[in-house]
A and B are shown apart, each in its own frame.
Chain A
Amino acid sequence: MSQTVQQIQDEIIDEFSMLDGDMEMTISYIMELGEQLPEMSESSRTEENIVKGCQSKVWLQASLENDKIEFEADSNTAITKGLLSLLVRILSGKSPQEIIDADLYFIDKMGLNRFIGTQRSNGFGAMMKQMKIYGLAFSTKTQNA
Chain B
Amino acid sequence: MSNILTDTHIDVENIRKEFQVLHQEVNGKPLVYFDNAATNQKPQRVIDALVHYYQNDNANIHRGAHTLADRATAKFEETRKAVQAFIGANEAEEIIFTKGTSESINLVASSWGRKFLNEGDEVLISTMEHHSNIVPWQMICKERGATLKVMPINEAGEIILEEVEKLLSEKTKMVAVNHASNTLGTINPIEKLAKMAHAVGAKILVDGAQSTSHLEVNVKDLNVDFFASSAHKMYGPTGLGFLYGKRGILEKMPPYQGGGEMIKDVSFTETTYNDIPYKFEAGTPSIADVIAFKQAIDFINELGKENIAAYEQELLAYGTAQLMQIDRVRIIGTAKEKVSVISFEVEGIHHFDLGMWLDAKGIAVRTGHHCTQPLMDHYCIEGTTRASFAVYNTKSEIDTFVVALKDIITKF
Q: Write the residues of chain A forming the contact surface with B, with a CB cutoff of 8 angstroms.
A: 22-24, 26-28, 31, 55-56, 76-80, 115, 117, 120
Most chain-A Cβ atoms within 10 A of its Cβ — which of B350, B352, B360? B352
Bound complex: CA of A76 vs CA of B411, how far in Å? 16
Tell yes or no: B361 within 8 A of A by CB.
Answer: yes
Cβ-defined contact, A78 with B350, below 8 A? yes
Tell yes or no: B239 within 8 A of A by CB.
Answer: no
B residues within 8 A CB of A24? 27, 357, 360-361
Cβ-defined contact, B411 with A77, below 8 A? no
State the Cβ distance, B403 to closest chain A Cβ, in Å.
13
B residues within 8 A CB of A117? 356
Cβ-defined contact, B350 with A76, below 8 A? yes
20 CB < 8 A contacts A-B: A22-B28, A23-B28, A23-B360, A24-B27, A24-B357, A24-B360, A26-B360, A27-B357, A28-B411, A31-B411, A55-B352, A56-B352, A77-B350, A77-B353, A78-B350, A78-B412, A115-B356, A115-B359, A117-B356, A120-B352
Bound complex: CA of A117 vs CA of B367, how far in Å? 12
Beta-carbon contacts under 8 Å, B394-412 to A:
411-412
User: Given A23-B27, A23-B28, A55-B368 in contact, is the A79-B356 Cβ separation under 8 Å?
Assistant: yes
The interface residues of chain A, by DSSP majority, are classed as helix
Cβ-defined contact, A79 with B28, below 8 A? no
Cβ-defined contact, B360 with A56, below 8 A? no
State the Cβ distance, A4 to closest chain B Cβ, in Å.
31
Cβ-defined contact, A78 with B353, below 8 A? yes
B369 and chain A: residue at smallest CB distance: A55
A residues within 8 A CB of B28? 22-23
Bound complex: CA of A42 vs CA of B356, how far in Å? 27
Beta-carbon contacts under 8 Å, B23-42 to A:
27-28
Bound complex: CA of A55 vs CA of B367, how far in Å? 11
State the Cβ distance, A104 to closest chain B Cβ, in Å.
21
Bound complex: CA of A78 vs CA of B349, how far in Å? 8
A residues within 8 A CB of B412? 78
State the Cβ distance, B405 to closest chain A Cβ, in Å.
14
User: Given A77-B350, A78-B412, A80-B352 in contact, is the A27-B360 Cβ separation under 8 Å?
Assistant: yes
Bound complex: CA of A58 vs CA of B39, how far in Å? 30
Cβ-defined contact, B352 with A79, below 8 A? yes
Bound complex: CA of A2 vs CA of B1, how far in Å? 71
A residues within 8 A CB of B353? 31, 77-79
B residues within 8 A CB of A120? 352
State the Cβ distance, B351 to closest chain A Cβ, in Å.
8
A117 and chain B: residue at smallest CB distance: B356
User: Given A23-B27, A31-B411 in contact, is the A56-B350 Cβ separation under 8 Å?
Assistant: yes
Given A23-B28, A28-B411, A115-B356; 20 other pairs, CB 8 A cutoff: A22-B28, A23-B359, A24-B357, A24-B360, A24-B361, A26-B360, A27-B360, A31-B411, A55-B352, A56-B350, A76-B350, A77-B350, A78-B349, A78-B353, A79-B352, A79-B353, A79-B356, A115-B359, A115-B360, A117-B356
Most chain-A Cβ atoms within 10 A of its Cβ — which of B349, B356, B361, B411? B356
In the complex, per-residue mask of B338-352: 1 if CB is within 8 Å of any chain A CB, else 0 = 000000000001101
